[in-house]
Structure 1
């Protein structure tokens, strides 16, 4: 491995930690990651572009790219369910297409890559354990490919990326759980307030008030929270309410 490539790999871990901490969400992290990795493999003979694709259980695939071209090529593979990136993820192996004009396995993808000025494609899997599947995709311009040393550098970078990406995925799940909880608490607050309104209007206990709300929800075929929100809005003039747990 050349000195510049070794420095790139050595400096990747610390920079990726900073990226995880500074990124607002997974998509932003993947985009910054792709740009960082592309810079590491680009050279005077041609600019390499990069994309990172993550497949998660029960969620749509997430893609981050350092350029629109790389993003479009990744999205095409995700939609088709096939291509170098998909093969690298599903087979857990590095896939190298040295010349897209001679590639017969993924003809539509290869034509799309050639049309966008990409001559070679390198896809490297990322080990995420049980977090899902992921791969790095590197695209080199026409007339340029990837040397054995550059392929090794990409594989080493994929190993460096593994832990920060798993961390980003876990942080994302925690954010989703937080948002779901906040939404649930806000819904609960609106429903509780509506129960209070119905109790006052009908001079009935809480259980009976809740039953009336539920019957209204079923009769109108709308969610219970929406029925409650309409009642609260009629009294308070707004449904933009903060729960007791909001800071």
Structure 2
């Protein structure tokens, strides 16, 4: 057993699995993960606040943190594109800053962290495989960050423990990402079905008003959408809402 592995205990996997199942979305899971990681990394003589950040292509970073000020620090890194967490993810290596008041690589982050009473930070990349959406590791990244309120707040043993925690959370994090992707696909499908339904209803209204076939009715809807520079679904929704008595309409549908 490597140094630090005994800190996690045999219930770690069960706790992580329960966290995945109990979370309603990725952000909630990351928040719970940050709190759990802080428990694993805490010592009687040192308080630790953790955060977990995930970056994905074409999406804003998703962050869970154990406190509002640490969340703000993680968002500062994400928005600015630099910081120890960004470096840990990009270079896939552990980054440990013993004294943020002396660090010169990320001045804005270090000054903000130190002014908030965080003087040391430890960032561990979390390995994510490339199976999700067929994208590679370089496009989907995650990092576990631990903040201490004293300089040199982490020992060599603490670093090994944190790296072990990052390994432990890798699989449940991948599972949470996959669940989130499936939920997103489900929501997109539901939205598409809803759009199709309201468009079909609007086509029926136009057919009745203009005594025409479905193809001509759809062409009229599309022309109205283009003429008004409005989405087809929105045009259809306004027609159906009008027929339902929500708004006034003319007796015939005209461009």
Question: What is the CA-CA distance between 1:201 and the residue it aligns to?
Answer: 1.1
1:225 counterpart residue number = 233
CA drift of 1:5 comes to 6.1
The one-character-per-residue Cα deviations of 1:82-111 (angstroms, maximum 9, x if unpaired) are: 111001100000000111112121222111
Aligned residue pairs total 239
CA distance in 2, matches of 1:150, 1:9: 15
**Contact preservation (8 Å) 1:122, 1:138:** yes
Alignment of 1:2-151 (within 5 A): 6-8=6-8, 10-130=10-130, 131=132, 132-143=140-151, 145-151=153-159
2:161 is aligned to 153
From the two aligned structures, give the one with the greater helix fraction.
1
Q: 1:58, CA displacement in angstroms?
A: 1.3
CA contact (8 A) 1:9 1:156 kept: no
In the TM superposition, what is the alpha-carbon distance from 1:237 to its structure 2 partner? 3.5
Counterpart of 1:171 in structure 2 is 179
Deviation at 1:11, TM superposition (A): 2.9
- Structure 2: distance between partners of 1:238 and 1:24: 35
Report if aligned partners of 2:4, 2:157 keep a CA contact under 8 Å in 1: no
CA distance in 2, matches of 1:181, 1:54: 25
Q: Which of 198, 201, 213 is matched with 1:193 structurally?
A: 201
Describe the superposition over 1:51-102 as per-residue Cα deviations: whole angstroms up to 9, x where unpaired: 0010101111111001112101111111111111001100000000111112
Residue deviations 1:177-236 (CA, integer Å, cap 9, x gap): 100110110010000011011111111110001011111111111111111111111112
**Whole-angstrom CA distance in 1 between matches of 2:11 and 2:27:** 22
TM-score by length of 1: 0.92
- Runs of 5+ unmatched residues, structure 2: 133-139, 248-255
Q: CA deviation at 1:44?
A: 2.2
Partners of 2:46 and 2:153 within 8 A in 1? no
Distance 1:7 1:20 in 2: 21
TM-score by length of 2: 0.89
Deviation of residue 238 (structure 1)? 5.9
Distance 2:5 2:151 in 1: 21
RMSD (CA atoms): 1.8
Q: CA deviation at 1:29?
A: 0.2
Alpha-carbon distance in 2 for matches of 1:230, 1:119: 57
Q: Is the 8 A contact 2:3 2:157 kept in 1?
A: no
Alpha-carbon separation, structure 2, partners of 1:111 and 1:203: 70
Runs (5+) with no aligned partner, structure 1: 240-247
Cα deviation, residue 144, structure 1: 5.3
Distance in 2, Cα, partners of 1:2 & 1:47: 23
